[in-house]
Amino acid sequence: MAARTSPTERQKRLGAEVRRMRTSAGVSAEYAAGLLGVDRGKISHIESGVRAISPERLRTLACNCECRDKAYVDALVGMAQPGQRGWWDKYRGSLPQGLLDIAELEAHAVSMRAAYSVHIPGLLQTSDHALALFRVVIPELPPHEVALRLAHRVERQQVLEGDSAPGFVALVHEAALRMQFGGRDVARAQLKHLLKKSEQANVTLLVIPFEAGAFPGAGQTVLYAEGSVPQLDTVQIDSSHGPDFLHAEAQLAKYRAHLDWMENVALSPEDSRRFIRTIAGQL
């Protein structure tokens, strides 16, 4: 298979898991290359996501690395299936890769937990709220770029719809609820939209009030996406240069603890809705 010039985050993750499986078993790259019938350089490219690995070769490697976790191996084989494309691929070459990687991560998540201190969760934003945010990007985006980002944001939100939609727990700080992005009318409509979405069976909205005080990770935007097996969980955090994706076990454990802490200090779902209604009534 031809080398990829720009592997996706999911492709890089598969490569990282292949390397983790190989090194955990004490198998050298040279041995793996001989086993799979490829040269040593291709093993490096597979493990960086630059080259694909076929499902058959992946199972061969897993067997020889004595990886006996069938669910884990099956999940990796699912990631290695050729020809996988999602709706986000139509934006490839038009939007930054990081935005497409977020959409792909959400699409494959079994469940998600997220925490927001200043912003409303992207999956729960109204179009007017999102538009207000896209118009204050530095450097300023031209109108067609704003339109592309808005269309992508709206399509991302469909992941929460349907019978097979993942569960989504959104922890939103009071500060985010009081921000008037787009003005008072847009903010009021956004709060009403949050209330409506919070009634969905797969959406849990929890508010952290100012009076809850300090909590770890305050100020960060964090998405914890559970994979089909625990080894494939991923944390995505926002930064000024784009999204970062983390999957080392120590990092996953840290952010699970952060989110657990936030849930413990947040209001209940019903109290959260009452809180949002109060703020909306003040606008």
Edge-first strand listing for the sheet containing 167-173: 203-208, 167-173, 111-116, 222-226, 234-237, 244-246
Confidence grade of residue 3 (pLDDT, cut at 50, 70, 90) = low
Select from 205, 109, 206 the least CA-distant residue to 166: 109
Q: What local confidence, expressed as pLDDT, does residue 6 receive?
A: 86
Binned at pLDDT 50, 70 and 90, residue 5 comes out as confident
HSE-up of 104 (CA within 13 Å, CB side)? 23
Among the candidates 80, 106, 136, a domain finishes at 80
Is residue 76 domain-shared with residue 200, that is, in the same domain?
no
Check which CATH number belongs to the domain holding 215 and give it: 3.30.870
Give every CB contact of residue 134 below 8 A, 6+ residues apart in sequence. 141, 146, 149, 150
pLDDT at res. 216:
84
Residues 96 and 75 in one domain: no
Residue type at 230 in one-letter notation: P
Q: Quote the domain boundaries for residue 257.
A: 91-282
181 Cβ contact partners less than 8 Å away, ≥ 6 residues apart: 129, 132, 133, 187, 190
* 1 within domain boundaries: no
Quick one: 29 and 149 in the same domain? no
Residue 262 has pLDDT above 60, yes or no: yes
115 and 168 part of one domain: yes
* Pair (187, 60) in one structural domain: no
- 192 and 114 fall within a common domain: yes
Residue 231 has pLDDT above 90, yes or no: yes
At 217 the pLDDT is 80
Q: Are 182 and 215 in a shared domain?
A: yes
Q: What is the pLDDT of residues 34-57, one digit of tens each?
A: 999 999 999 999 999 999 999 999
For residues 100 and 47, state if they share a domain. Answer: no
Last residue of a domain, one of 80, 111, 142: 80
Q: How many domains does the chain have?
A: 2
Average pLDDT over the chain, rounded to an integer: 95
The answer to the question of residue 68 being in a domain is: yes
